[in-house]
Amino acid sequence: MNTIDAKLLQKAFLAGATNLEAKKEWINELNVFPVPDGDTGTNMTLTIMAAAREVAAIENPTMETLAKAISSGSLRGARGNSGVILSQLFRGFTKEIKTCREIDTTTLANAFVRATETAYKAVMKPKEGTILTVARGMSEKAAELAEETDDILVFAEKVIEEGDTVLSQTPEMLPVLKQAGVVDSGGQGLMQVLKGCLDGLMGKEIDVAAAVGAGKPAQAPAAPSMDKSQIDTANIKFGYCTEFIINADKEFTEKDELEFKSYLEELGDSIVVVADEDVVKVHVHTNHPGLAFEKALTYGSLSRMKVDNMREEHEERLIKDAEKIASEQKAQAEAAKKDEPRKPFGFIAVSVGEGLSEIFKGIGADYLIEGGQTMNPSTEDILNAVDQVNADIIFVLPNNKNIILAAEQAVHLTEGKKLVVVPSKTVPQGITALINFMPDLSAEENLENMKSEMARVKTGQITYAVRTTNIDGMDIKEGDIMAIGDKGMMAVDAEVPAAVLKALDAMIDEESELVTIYFGADVSEEDAEAVLEQAQKQFPDVEIELQNGGQPVYYYMISVE
């Protein structure tokens, strides 16, 4: 095979996307920290599938239409650092091939090099031993091979062989990988994409439709109709109408359905779970949409995710047509914006947990994006949020290190407004940044002031280990309680309260003045009060306050200022 035409490239790309989707859970398990948020495989899959749906929908592909679909789809669908880097690799690759009628080994080599250069430029401080290193190793090999062969299959096999070799060396480049006994998860994800592409080039039959729904979101059976006309949304117990589709990794059995319904009953009411083999339509009213999403992700990928705050819909009743209500709300919001003077500054915050969301609203956030660990919002989600904020300059607070790149990518796609990314890596940093905004300062001055104030905040997070490992010299067993700080592991214990106290001991010093403890969805207020009482006795020289964060995954988040 000496050339690749547009039709074959389309098949190869979809095969690569399908292979990554099939391996995503395995890639998730390569997460270095044994926390319940290893989502590299999920983020990369959601990113490539956003592009794959557009690619699959093209009936008569050309290089130009494929390049646009791959680049635009992955750019807007990018989630997490790994997803953003993957989208940048695709962006550079497609820039090189979009004007070609056919691709040969020289074009491929040039595209590999351009892809790597584009991805490196997108990351402020590139770290070796990651997906970037694997991509660079393959691009260098590709440049060599273009001089030696014009057989694309030979070329591809040797490039992939080099990628595997570089990937195997990543533990020697990043000590944390070696300590955990894994290779880089992002690099492994990239290798699965390329191996799938090679399968597609070699004619292997790929069930693309099952993975990408032939370019359309999967359809689920219609949910049983419910009479919602009598529901008073102003006084409803569970405030968020949550709907989504699970594209199950395997058959969703009757046992799975009963287990999932039982879990949802603990979260809320108005539950509908309708399954047709591997496609499941879900509806639930709950105060914790994030927990419903998190549990659903254990069965497969999610699509058509929709959360409506029913408490804000006093004048409307819940109606069956979700698309209609979304359209009406958007039209109303746009009409309202036309009548309102545009503000000089606006704020978007990524938040998960009812308590944390209320805190962000209370200190000035105009719009909240549901997300965080296990649910990294995409660039598209951030752009949609920007559309909803009527301001000239909008600050976005990612509040998670794995969301910052997606937010920065949105900066270049925002039109008519200026988007400023405040690089908050944790919720406490985001809260501190927003509190310290000063309307009399310029956007640039405020950004520097916010960053300066964030640097004074220490964050601790208490969660459980999902596997046995050794991190930062600490032996960790599956089920242990871990206290994770800004620079790594702080403590490990069998009990949650003890882990909190060990974390505080590691974080509090002579300069510490204020400690805020945010308790999560899995902690009762009574237990949290007991932890507060113990902390106040052990650390009498600092002010310690307790807040209901309601966050999933983490029992407690701790802020020390």
* β-strand partners of 558: 460, 517
For the ranges 2-16, 141-155, 336-350, 487-501, which has the lowest average pLDDT?
A: 336-350
CA dihedral 136, 139, 144, 146 (to 10 degrees): 180
State the Cα–Cα distance between residues 165 and 63, nearest whole angstrom.
31
Sheet holding 367-370, edge to edge: 367-370, 343-351, 391-397, 418-421
Greater model confidence, 153 or 224: 153
Q: What is the pLDDT of residues 366-408, one digit of tens each?
A: 999 987 665 788 899 999 999 999 999 999 999 999 899 999 9
> Comparing C-alpha atoms, which of 391, 50, 82, 74 is closest to residue 213?
50
- pLDDT surpassing 50 at residue 498: yes
Task: Let me know if 207 is exposed, middle or buried by CB neighbors in 10 A (0-12, 13-18, 19+).
Answer: exposed
Give the model's pLDDT for residue 234: 40
Bin 305: left if φ > 0, else alpha if -120 < ψ < 50, else beta: beta
Strands (E), 277-413: 279-286, 300-309, 343-351, 367-370, 391-397
For 138, residues 6+ apart whose C-beta sits below 8 A from its C-beta are: 112, 116, 159, 160, 162, 163, 166, 194
CA dihedral 448, 451, 452, 453 (to 10 degrees): 120
> Comparing C-alpha atoms, which of 356, 560, 556, 558 is closest to residue 462?
556
Strand (E) or helix (H) holding 19: helix 6-28
The stretches of 392-514 forming alpha helices (DSSP H) are: 404-411, 427-435, 443-454, 496-507
Q: Strand, helix or coil at 348?
A: strand
State the Cα–Cα distance between residues 520 and 554, nearest whole angstrom.
6
Q: How much is the average pLDDT of 106-114?
A: 96
- pLDDT surpassing 60 at residue 93: yes
- pLDDT surpassing 80 at residue 127: yes
Give the model's pLDDT for residue 228: 35
* β-strand partners of 242: 284, 307
Query: What residue type is 461 in one-letter code?
Result: Q
For the ranges 86-100, 131-145, 463-477, which has the lowest average pLDDT?
A: 463-477
Give the model's pLDDT for residue 35: 63
Task: Let me know if 431 is exposed, middle or buried by CB neighbors in 10 A (0-12, 13-18, 19+).
Answer: buried
310 vs 231, 266, 334, CA distance in Å? 10, 19, 20
Residue 472 pLDDT level (bands cut at 50, 70, 90): confident
Q: What is the pLDDT of residues 27-38, one digit of tens each?
A: 888 876 666 555
- pLDDT surpassing 60 at residue 274: yes
- pLDDT surpassing 60 at residue 256: yes
Place of tokens 């680049």: 71
241 vs 250, 298, 312, 378, CA distance in Å? 27, 21, 11, 21
User: Chain-centre distance of CA 514, in angstroms?
Assistant: 31
Strands (E), 316-358: 343-351
Residue 214 pLDDT level (bands cut at 50, 70, 90): very low
Q: Strand, helix or coil at 536?
A: helix
Residue 112 pLDDT level (bands cut at 50, 70, 90): very high
Per DSSP, 299 falls in state T
Residue 333 pLDDT level (bands cut at 50, 70, 90): low
Residue 6 pLDDT level (bands cut at 50, 70, 90): very high
Rounded to the nearest integer, the mean pLDDT of the chain is 85
For 265, residues 6+ apart whose C-beta sits below 8 A from its C-beta are: 271
State the Cα–Cα distance between residues 463 and 336, nearest whole angstrom.
42
